[in-house]
Amino acid sequence: MNGREQTERQGNQRKQGKQDNQVRQAKQEKLVKGPFALYEQMRLKIMELIEERELRPHDPVPSEGELADMFGVSRRTSKEALLALAKEGVVYRMPRRGTFLAENAAGGASPDRRPGRMIAMVVPAIDDFVGQIITAALPAAQGLGCELIIRVAGDDHEQEERLLSELSEDRGIGGIILFPGDRRACGNQVLRLHVANYPIVIIDRAFRELNITNVCHDHYGGAYELTKYLIAAGHAQIGFVSEEMAGVMSREERYQGYIQAHLDAELPFNRALIYSDYSNKEADLETFMRGAAAMTAVFCSNDYVALEVMKTAHRIGIEVPKQLSVAGFTDSRMNGLLPVPLTSVRKPAGELGRACIDLLIRMLDAPPGSDVPSVKLPTKLIVRDSVIAREMQG
């Protein structure tokens, strides 16, 4: 061992000995109820420990359990004290990792910019639906003392992977909200973060291979309600048109809702009316629709597909809704402005934006090892002119 290493070792031993003395001393001065609340007394004691131990930014602060043992209080009291210091910007808390001294502890960082309370949202693009999510998420984050930053992956899986890697390595960011691109399975970074217990919330998507915390709408329930409505309107030959479903759970759940509504109504479904691999090929869609002459109504897996079905119907001389009732899913803002306003299942984007923020904050504030359950939001059927009763069709 060279002289430098020996000096550093001796310094560390002195520092450890000093900390051990502080712990023994603390155990001799149990806190008692008095003119100041226990958590406020704890707060002051923690500040003293930070100063006495000469902690530097990002050094660990004693845990809730350690503080409770040191000062003879409950874990709840020590947690309240740490939360109070976090609100002041003195410390920042990272789930499953602990509590750390903040960068600007001496100067008092503002609550919405303190390390660990900045959160990131990664989206594939900023379209109308995502824009509504962000519009709701920004004030929700600010109201909870957090700063939300937005990153766009451009529906590029490699770019999404890079962003997740960079953001998760940034010590100032406490957690990530991910709106995945068009994936059939989770990416490597999502898997890595999940295994590492990094706080991440998936929105509007779930992955079958991982029980990862997510917030989604009730795709199954919405599809069931819409199909039930079409059946009640007298339609017995109801088609289903979707983009490829394999591995995309939201599409599969909508299909399952469509099937279950038929089963519950004891109505046989015609497999010839199911087209589940639409991929922007007008010729293929036209071929399907020409061969589905029995179809009086069609449930489209999203509004974009519904719009393509309506365009194709017009091109081949099928009147909507006189000859074919059409319904979609998502309820885009354009739906009420179409020549034939589109019936659709609404997925309230604002609720999704607020719910994903609330879910991630609960993960950040939960004790290490705690499970924060996923959230499923209700949908709403919006009835417009594109669907009419069978008896009204020509």
Q: In the predicted model, what is the mean pLDDT of residues 154-165? A: 92
Work out the angle at residue 205's Cα, subtended by the Cα atoms of residues 365 and 238, and round it to the nearest 5 degrees. Answer: 145
* More confident: 197 or 360: 360
Question: If you average pLDDT over residues 95-114, what whole number do you get?
Answer: 59
- C-alpha–C-alpha distance, residues 270 and 43, integer Å: 68
Identify the residue with better confidence: 187 or 256: 256
- Residue 184, pLDDT > 90, answer no
CB 131 within 8 A of CB 179: no
Residue 42 vs residue 238, higher pLDDT: 238
- pLDDT score of 238 more than 90: yes
What does pLDDT average to over the chain?
A: 84
The predicted model gives 228-251 an average pLDDT of 92
DSSP characters over 13-70: HHHHHHHHHHHHHHHTS----SSS-HHHHHHHHHHHHHHHTT--TTPEEPPHHHHHHH
User: For residue 382, what are the CA distances in angstroms to 173, 233, 329?
Assistant: 39, 15, 10
Is the pLDDT at 217 greater than 90? The verdict is yes
Separation between Cα atoms, residue 283 and residue 140, nearest integer Å: 45
Given this model, what pLDDT does residue 353 score?
96
Mean pLDDT, rounded, for 195-204: 90
Most confident of 13-27, 98-112, 246-260: 246-260
pLDDT (mean) for 149-169: 93
Domains, the chain: 3-112 (1.10.10.10), 113-217+349-373 (3.40.50.2300), 219-348+381-392 (3.40.50.2300)
Residue 122, beta-bridge partner list = 151, 178
Q: What does the pLDDT average to over 253-281?
A: 91
Beta-strand runs (E) in 192-322:
200-203, 214-217, 238-243, 274-278, 297-300
Query: In the prediction, which pLDDT does 107 show?
Result: 43
User: What's the pLDDT tens digit per position in 349-378?
Assistant: 999 999 999 999 999 888 777 788 999 999
User: What is the reported pLDDT for 26?
Assistant: 43
Tell me the per-residue pLDDT of 13-72, one tens digit each, with 9 for 90 and over.
Answer: 454 444 444 444 444 455 555 434 666 778 778 888 888 888 888 889 998 888 888 888
Report which of residues 78 and 345 the model is more confident about.
345
Phi, psi of 370 (to 5 degrees): -75, 145
Strand blocks (E) in the chain: 60-61, 91-94, 98-101, 118-123, 147-152, 173-178, 200-203, 214-217, 238-243, 274-278, 297-300, 325-330, 343-346, 375-377, 380-382
Residue 367: cis peptide before it, omega within 30 degrees of 0 = no
Q: Phi/psi at 200 (nearest 5 deg)?
A: -140, 135
Q: Which of 124-133, 209-218, 276-285, 334-343 has the lowest mean pLDDT?
A: 276-285
pLDDT score, position 39 = 64
pTM beyond 0.85: the answer is no
